[in-house]
Structure 1
Amino acid sequence: MSETTLEIDDRPTRPAVLRGLNLRCPKCGKGHLFTKYLKVADTCPNCDEPLHHHRADDGPAYLTILVVGHILGFVIHFMWVYFRPEPWVMASTLTVGAVALSLVLLPRMKGMVVAIQWARRMHGFGQSS
């Protein structure tokens, strides 16, 4: 029987994901993750952790669509069953809600994806400490 060694998880995923959802550096949790709305900083302004390795691509957009779609599906059902608004009222209200929710969730989903990549040492994140 071979002896197995347990690796110490020096990059736990859960705290990193929570920091990413809060738009903070996945390593220190203090520096801003983004320099603009969706532009990830090259390095953390607080701890100098390189963040330019990320490969978020379309993942955050798909996750945002998934979450917004599920929320709006519930809202559509609730509005129709309890209020029966005019179709134009329902359409305009849900359109504004979908756009607002998407704009709020998209950077958070991108922060979460970048944080997962950092914690799991994906796409070049494993080369730094």
Structure 2
Amino acid sequence: MDRPNPLLAGLKSRCPNCGEGRLFSGFLKVAPACDRCGYDLAKADSGDGPAVFVILIAGFLCAFTMLFVEMAYKPPIWVHLVVFLPLTLVVCIGLLRPLKGVLLAAQFANKASEARHD
């Protein structure tokens, strides 16, 4: 059996070891182990990395778009609130899970360990 690309598996919220099992047991809660291959996922921790990337990406996309709309069309403030608050929420929530999966898979691919005993 060919080993899957761990980063693509993480992007799809799949186990970075086998590419088939679920990586998450909830929306953002990492499963204790892969339900297909039994790989231990309990020690995987992405920390604040996904949130930082989401803030940077969503902030750039939404703020740039909002500034462009403001400069080009000068709409009233309520248009910004009605359009860009939901847009920002959708982009942030939509990016959080895939980015967390990618960062967890990157730890797997690079054989990172929280507690190394060198």
Q: TM-score range by the shorter chain?
A: 0.7 to 0.9
Between 1:80-89 and 1:17-26, the stretch displaced more is 80-89
Match of 1:7 in 2: none
Higher radius of gyration, 1 or 2: 1
The DSSP-based 3-state class of the residue aligned with 1:97 is helix
Identify the match of residue 65 of structure 2 among 75, 80, 83.
75
Identity %: 35
Structure 1 unaligned regions, length at least 5: 1-10
Regions of 4+ moved over 4 Å = none
How far did 1:94 drift?
0.8
Match of 2:105 in 1: 115
Q: Output the TM-score relative to the length of structure 1.
A: 0.79
Letter in 1 for 2:42: H
Match of 2:96 in 1: 106
How far did 1:113 drift?
0.9
Q: Output the TM-score relative to the length of structure 2.
A: 0.85
Identify the match of residue 17 of structure 1 among 3, 7, 32.
7
Task: Check conservation: 1:55, 1:123, Cα contact below 8 A.
Answer: no
Question: When the two structures are aligned, how many residues end up with a matched partner?
Answer: 113
What CA deviation, in whole Å up to 9, does each residue of 1:40-91 have, x standing for no partner?
0111111111111112111111111011011112311332244332111112
The DSSP-based 3-state class of the residue aligned with 1:102 is helix
Match of 1:44 in 2: 34
Distance in 2 of aligned mates of 1:16 and 1:83: 44
Identify the match of residue 56 of structure 1 among 46, 58, 63.
46
1:66 aligns with 2:56: yes
The DSSP-based 3-state class of the residue aligned with 1:70 is helix
1:32 aligns with 2:25: no
Distance in 2 of aligned mates of 1:29 and 1:71: 30
What CA deviation, in whole Å up to 9, does each residue of 1:15-45 have, x standing for no partner?
2111111111111111111000000011111
